[in-house]
Homo-oligomer: A and B are copies of this chain.
Amino acid sequence: MSKRTNSAKRQLILDEAAKLFKLKGFGGTSMRDLAAQVGMEAASMYNHIKSKDEILELICFHISDTYIRQLTEVEHMQAPYVEKIRALIGRHIQLMIEDGAAVSVGNNDWKYLTGDRLEDFKAARKRYEKGFAALIEQGIAAGELHPVNVSVALFTILSAVRWVELWYRPGRNVTPEELEENIMTVLLNGLAK
């Protein structure tokens, strides 16, 4: 039971850290800020985590692992490329709605990772981008998509979806389904008639 209590506190620290990093950035968040949020002294947190850097690593790799898993799932689907792309964008949006603070850290604060961990994170992102780009490329080759520059289309889509993490709150009068549907319309069918 002590084990369970400890890991629950650890998780609390990670959750609160993600929220603060999103709000004030990694550099702008002090261990004293975080400790106050969690409800203990700064020194006490070191019984649950090794360092401020470790907190950042745990949040970032939780997110990159999830993205890679989503990509692998979609790669194994049997469906037209448009549907695979739709499914991947959908999972992407879903994760932002469910875990927006951590996604924000993975989008903005990953650059404060150091050494091997920084390289590992960049490699994971590259793997995701390559996999996504391959879906677009194959979709064009199959005649399902407009023949656009693949890199430009890829980054336009990945970027387009990022505002959700900044904007979405349960209080908005847009349901997650409406949100997803409207984003898909703009990206896949275009805004113009």
Q: How many copies does the complex hold?
A: 2
Asked if residues B163 and A186 are in contact (CB atoms below 8 Å), the reply is no
> Provided the pairs A159-B159, A159-B163, A163-B156 are in contact, do residues A146 and B190 lie with their beta carbons within 8 angstroms?
yes
Task: Annotate A53-89 by CB proximity to B: 1 below 8 A, 0 otherwise.
Answer: 0000000000000000000000000000010010000
> Provided the pairs A28-B112, A146-B190, A162-B159 are in contact, do residues A153 and B182 lie with their beta carbons within 8 angstroms?
yes
Asked if residues B152 and A183 are in contact (CB atoms below 8 Å), the reply is yes
Interface residue A144 (Cβ < 8 Å from any Cβ of B): yes
Interface residue A108 (Cβ < 8 Å from any Cβ of B): yes
How many residues on the A side are at the interface (Cβ–Cβ under 8 A)? 45
**Within 8 Å CB of A189, what residues of B?**
146, 190, 192
**Within 8 Å CB of A24, what residues of B?**
27, 111
Describe A's contact surface by its main secondary structure.
helix
Least Cβ–Cβ distance between A130 and chain B, in angstroms: 15
Partner of A191 from B143, B174, B188 at Cβ < 8 Å: B188
Q: What's the Cα separation between A190 and B159 when bound, in Å?
A: 15
Interface residue A50 (Cβ < 8 Å from any Cβ of B): no
**Within 8 Å CB of A149, what residues of B?**
174, 178, 182
Partner of A156 from B145, B152, B160, B192 at Cβ < 8 Å: B160
Q: What's the Cα separation between A143 and B192 when bound, in Å?
A: 9
Asked if residues A158 and B163 are in contact (CB atoms below 8 Å), the reply is yes
Least Cβ–Cβ distance between A192 and chain B, in angstroms: 4
**Within 8 Å CB of A28, what residues of B?**
25-27, 112
Extra contacts, 4 of them, besides A146-B191, A146-B192 (Cβ < 8 A), are: A146-B190, A148-B186, A148-B191, A155-B163
Residue positions of A touching B, CB distance < 8 A: 24-28, 82, 85, 108, 111-112, 136, 139, 143-146, 148-149, 151-153, 155-163, 167, 174, 178-179, 182-183, 185-193
